[in-house]
Amino acid sequence: MWRFVYGVVLGAGGMALWDWLKTENNTLDWYVWPLMLLALALGTLAVHHFFASRAELETKAAWIGLVIFGLPALLLSGLVVSFFQ
């Protein structure tokens, strides 16, 4: 179920990005792509780890993981968004 929701969100995001790149004739510098992927990977890990740890009944691990993986994901996302201006 959650994998499906994640797939839909990711697909929608990808399509919006594709649209943005095409219709406005915008381009992104090459280094934005690895940064975007890294932010995505860390964000995914943070969210997955949070819920999986709750399922493991490891509440402390859930919150610490959210901070350790989530914060860099947020910072990187902010950086990536700044390249879209």
Partner 1 sequence: MRHHSTVGKKERMNAMGLDREDTAEKFNDLDDVMASPAAEWKRPWWVREVAKPTMDIDWDVTERFDARKIQQVSWKKYVGEEKAKELGKRREEKVRQWMIDQKSGYSLRDRALDIAGAQAGSVGTSFLGSWAKTAEATKGEGEMFASDASRSRLTDPARPKPLSPEELGVPRYEGTPAENSRMIRSALRHFGATQVGYVELTERNRKLIYAEDAMDGKRIEFENVEKAYETNEKRVIPEKARWVIVFSIQMSEELIKRKSGLMPSALSAAATGAAYGQARNAIDQLQCFLHVLGYQGLMGTWFNGLGIAPAFAVLAGLGEIGRINRMISPEHGPLQRVFKVVTDLPLEPTKPIDAGIMNFCRTCKVCAEECPADCLSKETEPYWEPKGPWNNPGHKTWYEDSPTCRTWWAVSTAGCSTCFAVCAFSKKNLSVIHDLVKIAIAKNRIMPDKVNAFFAKMDGVFGYQDQRNIDDWWGMELPPRGTKNVKGTQLD
Residues engaged in binding partner 1 (CB under 8 A):
45, 48-49, 52-53, 55-61, 64-65
CB of 7 to partner 1, least distance (A): 16
- According to DSSP, residue 85 is labeled -
CB of 9 to partner 1, least distance (A): 18
HSE at residue 80, side-chain half, CA atoms within 13 A, is 18
Q: Do 43 and 37 touch, CB atoms closer than 8 A?
A: no
Pick 28 or 58: Cβ nearer partner 1: 58
End-to-end CA distance of the chain: 35
What is the rounded distance in angstroms from the CA atom of residue 82 to the CA atom of residue 78? 6
Pick 22 or 60: Cβ nearer partner 1: 60
Pick 32 or 52: Cβ nearer partner 1: 52
